[in-house]
Amino acid sequence: LTDKLQNVFKNLRSKGRLTEEDVKAALKEVKMALLEADVNFKVVKQFVKAVEERAVGVDVMNGLNPGQMVIKIVNEEMVTLMGSETTEIQMQPGKSITVIMMCGLQGAGKTTTTAKIAGKLKLKGKKPLLVACDIYRPAAIKQLQINGEKQEVDVFSMGEHHNPVDIAKASMEHAGKNGHNVVILDTAGRLHIDEDMMMELQNIKANVEVHQTLLVVDAMTGQDAVNVAKEFDEKVGIDGVVLSKMDGDTRGGAALSVKAVTGKPILYVGMGEKLSDLEQFYPDRMASRILGMGDVLTLIDKVQANLDIDEGKEKEMAARMKKGKFDFNDYLESMKQMKKMGGLSSIMGMMPGMGKQLGDMESMVDEKQLSRMEAIVLSMTLAERENPKLLNLSRKSRIARGAGVDIAVVNRFVKQFEQSQKMMKQLPGMMGGKKGRGMFG
Contact positions vs ligand GDP (CB under 6 A): 104, 106-112, 189, 216, 244-245, 247-248, 270-273, 277
Helix (H, G, I), strand (E, B) or coil at 333: helix
Q: Which residues pair with 266 in a beta bridge?
A: 241
**418-424: long-range contacts at Cβ-Cβ below 8 A with a sequence spacing of 24 or more?**
418/388, 419/360, 419/361, 420/361, 420/364, 421/324, 421/326, 423/361, 424/321, 424/326
Q: Shortest approach of Mg ion to residue 177 CB, angstroms?
A: 26
Q: Shortest approach of ligand GDP to residue 124 CB, angstroms?
A: 21
Nearer to Mg ion, 111 or 288 (CB): 111
Q: Residue 187 annotated as binding?
A: yes
Nearer to Mg ion, 38 or 200 (CB): 200
**Applying CB under 5 A, does 111 fall inside the site for Mg ion?**
yes
Q: Residue 104 annotated as binding?
A: yes
Nearer to ligand GDP, 76 or 277 (CB): 277
Nearer to ligand GDP, 277 or 284 (CB): 277
Cβ pair 420, 321 in contact under 8 A: no
Nearer to ligand GDP, 65 or 213 (CB): 213
Q: Residue 353 annotated as binding?
A: no
Contacts of 7 (CB under 8 A, 6+ apart): 29
Which range of residues in 136-144, 196-204, 407-415, 417-425 is near Mg ion by CB under 5 A? 136-144
Amino acid at 217: V
**392-396: long-range contacts at Cβ-Cβ below 8 A with a sequence spacing of 24 or more?**
none
Helix (H, G, I), strand (E, B) or coil at 102: strand
CA distances from 113 to 191, 194, 211, 224, 287 (A): 18, 22, 18, 19, 23
Q: Say how many residues touch Mg ion, by CB under 5 A.
A: 3
Q: Shortest approach of ligand GDP to residue 52 CB, angstroms?
A: 35
Residue 272 contact among Mg ion, ligand GDP, none, beta carbon within 5 to 8 Å by kind: ligand GDP
Q: Residue 111 annotated as binding?
A: yes
Q: Which residue is nearest to ligand GDP (CB)?
A: 270
Q: Shortest approach of Mg ion to residue 111 CB, angstroms?
A: 3
Q: Shortest approach of Mg ion to residue 113 CB, angstroms?
A: 9
Q: Shortest approach of ligand GDP to residue 7 CB, angstroms?
A: 30
**For every residue of 260-287, which 3-state class applies, written as one string?**
HHHCCCEEEEECCCCCCCEEECCHHHHH
Nearer to ligand GDP, 1 or 108 (CB): 108
**Quick one: 3 exposed, middle or buried, by C-beta within 10 A (0-12, 13-18, 19+)?**
exposed
Task: Quickly count: other Cβ atoms within 10 Å of residue 341's Cβ.
Answer: 17
Q: Residue 244 annotated as binding?
A: yes
Cβ pair 22, 66 in contact under 8 A: yes
**Applying CB under 5 A, does 244 fall inside the site for Mg ion?**
no
Known binding-site residues for GTP equal 104-111, 186-190, 244-247
Site residues for Mg ion per CB under 5 A: 110-111, 140
